Amino acid sequence: MLGKSFNFLTIRVVGVLAGYLFTYFITSRYGADIFGLVSLCFSIFLFAGILGRLGTDINLVNRYADIEKMEDKGLFYKVVVNSFVVACLFALVLYLTRDYYTLHVFRKPELEPYIFWTVLAIPFWTLTLVCGGLLRARKKNEWFAFLNIPGRFILTLLVIPIVLLFLDDPIIVIQSHFFGIMILGIIALVRCIVLLERITFKSHSSSWNFIRQSIPMMLSSTILVVLGWMDTFVLGIYNPSQDIGIYNVAIKIAGVASFTFFAINSILAPKLAQLFQAQDIKGFRQLVQFSALVNGIASILLISLILGFHDWLLRIFGEEFSAGDKALFILCAGQLIMALTGSVGVILQMTRNQVIYQNIMIITLVVNIALNF
């Protein structure tokens, strides 16, 4: 598990570096204001992407972790089509209602031009993560890691110089992001087709029944995204774009502490699903305890480094970002608590307790929204 987690961690480090380069490009060329607008767009993009895939990416891990169920290839393709269509509908609704939330909720008319390119990327991001669910189930962890973390920003960074040849305007940031996501979605689908060896829509299982079973997982995933972006939403309502930009840089730096958490979780989910289905409770407990120990030690070390060099890390993006130091301290405290409590969400979801996890997340969301306001 450690060996495979290290591979995931390496890919995640590359992804985070690509994300930092993307952030640095925006902040150095266009400033904290534009990065604030882009951060708001990303919050909308990630929230709609969760709704679009309907929790199927997580349920696919449960379904295809068992090699015998890989014979039912048609179910995967049906799920891909259904989730892509649903994501397109969400994107259309977001685009048609853009005036309401740009002018009346966020009161930022300058956000409106960015919305078109933001919603256009949603179906392709849904496609990417649904395909990632299959690859994760079949323990193609390097591919799963690439699709979730570095692929998005690496491809965006590769597209930016090409778009700059035609236009030098802040809008090129979100345009390049769309083209990067579109390419990533196509790559993910091709990789799954190669894995399954053929395309077929014949299945003895109902794709809509599969989606119905996935809904609790979607709700939990949606709440996680809302929890992660609610602070940005609230800042978007009450504060100028510059504050949003500074705060989101602090989030990115604090996120370094979760490297090992997500690396271990990526390997942990299919392994726990297998052990649970095999009723190997002893092996299940040992794996949970071991992962929690490694996670806790690694997170403490990373957070210590972040706090020790916090001023230098913030100033990399510009002098104005040093104002995010207090936010960074609080965010690091949250990361530490998350690490020390272990992979509780994965454990519940891989043991068919997704409804319990969903209820816990609903309570958490209500508390989070109240505290934010």
Mean pLDDT of the chain: 83
Q: Is 351 helix (H, G, I), strand (E, B) or coil?
A: coil
Provide, rounded to the nearest whole percent, the portion of the chain with pLDDT above 90.
Answer: 20
Stretch among 29-43, 68-82, 211-225, 304-318 having the lowest mean pLDDT: 211-225
User: What's the pLDDT score for residue 329?
Assistant: 93
Q: Using an 8 Å Cβ cutoff, are 210 and 63 in contact?
A: yes
Say which residues have a Cβ less than 8 Å from residue 371's Cβ, sequence separation at least 6: none
What tokens were used for 47?
């929230």
Q: How far apart are CA 73 and CA 83, in angstroms?
A: 16
Q: Which of 47-51, 221-225, 344-348 has maximum average pLDDT?
A: 344-348
Average pLDDT over residues 309-325: 87
User: What's the pLDDT score for residue 229?
Assistant: 78
What tokens were used for 59?
């349920």
Q: Tell me: pLDDT of 305 over 80.
A: yes
| pLDDT one-digit tens code per residue, 342-358 | 888 888 877 878 778 87
Q: How far apart are CA 254 and CA 248, in angstroms?
A: 10
Q: Using CB atoms within 10 A of its CB, is residue 163 exposed (0-12), middle (13-18) or buried (19+)?
A: middle
Q: Tell me: pLDDT of 108 over 70.
A: yes
Q: Using an 8 Å Cβ cutoff, are 255 and 125 in contact?
A: no
Find tokens 């726990």 and name the residue.
272
Q: Using an 8 Å Cβ cutoff, are 42 and 173 in contact?
A: no
User: What's the pLDDT score for residue 210?
Assistant: 72
Q: Using an 8 Å Cβ cutoff, are 159 and 179 in contact?
A: yes
CA atoms within 13 A on the CB side of 21: 15
Q: How far apart are CA 170 and CA 107, in angstroms?
A: 19
Q: Sorting pLDDT into bands at 50, 70 and 90, what band is 270?
A: confident
Nearest to 158 by CA among 18, 323, 274: 18
Q: Tell me: pLDDT of 322 over 80.
A: yes
Q: Tell me: pLDDT of 361 over 90.
A: no
| pLDDT one-digit tens code per residue, 112-158 | 999 999 999 999 998 998 888 888 777 777 787 788 778 889 999 99
Average pLDDT over residues 165-192: 92
State the first-to-last Cα distance of the chain, in angstroms, to the nearest integer. 41
DSSP letter (8 states) at residue 173: H
Q: Sorting pLDDT into bands at 50, 70 and 90, what band is 179?
A: very high
